[in-house]
Amino acid sequence: MKHPTAVLIEDEALPRQRLREGLAELWPQLQLLAEVEDGERGLALVLELRPDIVFVDIRLPSLDGLQLARRIKGLCHVVFVTAYDAHALAAFDQGAVDYLLKPLSTERLQETLVRLQQRLQLPPAELARWLRQWTPPVLPAAAPAAPLRWLQASQGERLHLVMVADVSHFRSDNKYTCAVTADGEFLLRLSLRELLGQLDPEQFWQIHRAVVINLAQVSRVERHLGGMDVLLKDGHTRLQVSQSFQPRFKPM
């Protein structure tokens, strides 16, 4: 009997490594044919290699996981990997589609692999029709969420828990955000816009389209001809305030 095969499509190095190692430990018979970091190349590999299973992140460069699933059209079993879309997880959990929530847990991965081993005896589900028909449930209005206190962020290949109060400022880095602290810089897989909605608006102010500061870490504000700068308490960081955000500092 041939060993089952899989392709892993994930653009983050650390989750990709953890999933690869988890698969090797929990299902050594599974043959991982390839790993790829973006949806377009992932789709090409799936069509070329025809694996039994695809593990695919929902948020990917060029072609996201849901778009890729529509294009596969029942060629293989699909497991979504996601750090977002919490309202959709129950839907993924009921059909032929499964999900893994980041950061990955060994227990949840084991459950997924048991399901996959059972489903390999059946043809892959026709996901395209399911995805067209599926509509996210309308959730009741919830009370405003409490501001973030901790962040899960990476520094190289290591994952850290960073206290929000320790962050002097956030800086946009394409689709990611860099959190700057006295201990160094940490990378968040969130855009600055997504993050801003989860921070305490009384403590964190946007001063530039790419910069948000922690007011508790501000030493002073300096005005100069044609501009304004914020100086942080570290004694050396100077951040420019865009003209559109300068009125917030007028009373100061």
List, for residues 99-121, the tens digit of each pLDDT value: 787 778 888 899 889 988 888 88
CB under 8 Å to 187, separation ≥6 — which residues?
153, 154, 155, 173, 176, 177, 178, 179
Cα-only R_g, the chain: 22
SS3 162: strand
Quote the number of domains for the chain: 2
Give dist(CA 199, CA 204) in Å, integer: 7
Q: What is the pLDDT of residue 174?
A: 72
Q: Where is 118: in which H helix or E strand?
A: helix 106-119
List, for residues 67-81, the tens digit of each pLDDT value: 888 888 778 898 988
Q: Are residues 82 and 18 in the same domain?
A: yes
Q: Would residue 140 count as lying in a domain?
A: no
Q: Of the residues 81, 105, 133, which one is the last residue of a structural domain?
A: 133
Q: What is the pLDDT of residue 155?
A: 85
Say if CB 89 and CB 70 are below 8 A apart. no
Q: Are residues 223 and 180 in the same domain?
A: yes
Q: Are residues 93 and 129 in the same domain?
A: yes
Give the structural domain span for 198: 150-249
Say if CB 104 and CB 163 are below 8 A apart. no
Mean pLDDT for the stretch of residues 228-234: 94
List, for residues 31-56, the tens digit of each pLDDT value: 999 999 999 999 999 999 999 999 99
- In this predicted structure, the answer to whether residue 143 has a pLDDT above a threshold of 60 is no
CATH for 109? 3.40.50.2300
Q: Are residues 110 and 159 in the same domain?
A: no
Q: Would residue 138 count as lying in a domain?
A: no
Q: Which two tokens stand for residue 82?
A: 């996601």
CATH for 162? 2.40.50.1020
Q: Are residues 102 and 18 in the same domain?
A: yes
Q: Which two tokens stand for residue 198?
A: 């989860």
